[in-house]
Amino acid sequence: MNKPLRRIAIFCGLLVLALLIRDNWIQYVQADSLKDDPKNRRVAIARYATPRGDIIVDGNPITGSTKTSGDDFNDFEYKRTYKDGAMWAPVTGYASQAFGATQLESIEDGILTGDDDRLFFRRTLDMVTGKKQEGGNVVTTLNAAAQKAAYNGLLKQGKGAVAAIDPSTGAILALASTPSYDPSTFAGNSTKVDGEAWKKLQKKNNPDNPMLNRALREIYPPGSTFKVVTAAAALEHDLYTDPDAKTESPDPWIMPGTTTKLPNEGTIPCENATLRQALRFSCNTVFGKVGFDLGKDKMLETAKKFGFNEEQFIPVRSSASNFPEEMDKPQTALSSIGQFETATTPLQMAMVASAVANNGTLMKPYMIDKRQAPNLDVIEQTDPEKMSQPLSEENAQILQSMMETVVKEGTGTNAQINENGVTVGGKTGTAQRGVDNSQNPYAWFISYAKTSDGSSPVAVAVVVEDESANRGDISGGGLAAPIAKDVMKAVIDSKPGS
């Protein structure tokens, strides 16, 4: 071969090599980025070419899929539908052709679309048989009756949230938030229909912010419900061991280092009150002094054991509740009665009640029971997992008896369930907010129910934001406790043999 031909052959060989390298680079190195590129419409078309799998509650789907109408782009064949969408939105989130996905719809997208790696062999089999790809199902831990009770109770009050947990496992039974939204209204890709619905739900256009998941993402001052944590700290750190022994708590109590009196509400009997009576009447002086005497480090240690100061993933992310890490002694006193910078999600306070009900053991909260293949084979099952031990069994049972006194003869009587030997323990809270407490407070109630066999199937936290109510009518016992009662009763009544 002469020299010119050799050069041409080498040049052609280099071109072929460059082509092969480029081809492999695109197919293997850049495959994921090209697949996820928003300009790659083929991926979106394939995504909506088949129905999504479903999110399941009590054996029934709360989601579905439907053929798109003429208002949608014709190359998107299916879009998401929701049953009682507004009630379940804090659980499902949304899946929209135009606006993406959130919460379970986003986190479990691989299972629901059938793209999850664990479904690889199923997809391969479908390719061989010519069957269209199908999505799997996400089976939740939610209790439909409890969710309905929570949502309907909140609707009567306006804004608020409910979280309910099975103390023995950590399984979430209810997760409600109002005002809410129906994800079906913007599930498609129509500028006229879905785009307008989306705009109306945005906070800048709707000050009620209906797309905020108040059960997981809003942190509120907990008010006196936090006194349960302070009582736990007092017992665990041996500041007081007998709930019926008098405490060293003057009334009025001036926080040392200040000239500020820590006030109690009305004329309740708080001077040197026992821990039981202090929780029953919600004495600020007693629990403020408990926090002051224990000090920041011990209070912070107990709060963290209950889950404060860290995000929770259930698997949807819940905002971290806050117990301040930097504060002086008077600030510690205020923080210990749920004031100063103490702030919490409803989920967090449900975890507090849950740990007390479960004899001091806090189970990790979760809301997915199992993930299923399209043929309903279980590909992953969630096993309950211990998270921490905020209380010893003995101290937890002491605190249970104190919380049960609150419901029997204290501020929480509206949560009583007087049937089938059910015992309820709880704590009310009225959380101040606004400059100089100028705005209507939040009404709180946390509780658990214990059945005649001694088990505790449910713990609940309820917060109500009622800006239109008369200030004097706002109380945890008046607004939040009846909702908690209905949720607890719904769980108990849904148990086999009830």
**Tens of pLDDT along 262-298?**
999 888 999 999 999 999 999 999 999 999 999 999 9
Percent pLDDT > 90 in the chain is 72
pLDDT value for 85: 97
pLDDT value for 29: 64
Do 368 and 384 touch, CB atoms closer than 8 A? Answer: no
Q: To the nearest whole number, what is the mean pLDDT of the chain?
A: 90
Higher per-residue confidence, 475 vs 170: 170
- The residues carrying an active-site annotation are 224
How confident is residue 26, by pLDDT bands cut at 50, 70 and 90? low
In sequence order, the β-bridge partners of residue 79 are: 66
C-alpha distances (whole Å) from 335 to each of 241, 295, 322 are 22, 11, 10
Instruction: Tell me the average pLDDT across 441-449.
Output: 94
pLDDT value for 121: 63
pLDDT value for 20: 78
pLDDT value for 191: 80
| Count of residues in the chain | 498
DSSP labels, 300-332: HHHHHHTTTTS-EESSSEEPPPB--SS--HHHH
Instruction: Tell me the average pLDDT across 142-154.
Output: 98
Convert the pLDDT of each residue in 342-372 to its tens digit. Answer: 999 999 999 999 999 999 999 999 999 999 9
Judged against a pLDDT cut of 80, whether residue 224 lies above it is answered with yes
Higher per-residue confidence, 291 vs 133: 291
Judged against a pLDDT cut of 80, whether residue 23 lies above it is answered with no
Judged against a pLDDT cut of 80, whether residue 304 lies above it is answered with yes
DSSP labels, 371-409: EE-TT--EEEEPPP-EEE--S-HHHHHHHHHHHHHHHHH
Distance, in Å, from the CA atom of 197 to the CA atom of 150, rounded to the nearest integer, reads 25
Is residue 305 exposed (0-12), middle (13-18) or buried (19+ Cβ within 10 Å)?
buried
Instruction: Tell me the average pLDDT across 237-262.
Output: 94
Distance, in Å, from the CA atom of 393 to the CA atom of 400, rounded to the nearest integer, reads 10
How confident is residue 475, by pLDDT bands cut at 50, 70 and 90? confident
Ordered domains of the chain (ranges, CATH) = 223-367+388-494 (3.40.710.10)
Instruction: Tell me the average pLDDT across 226-241.
Output: 97
How confident is residue 413, by pLDDT bands cut at 50, 70 and 90? very high
Judged against a pLDDT cut of 70, whether residue 341 lies above it is answered with yes
Judged against a pLDDT cut of 60, whether residue 77 lies above it is answered with yes
Convert the pLDDT of each residue in 374-391 to its tens digit. Answer: 988 899 999 999 999 999
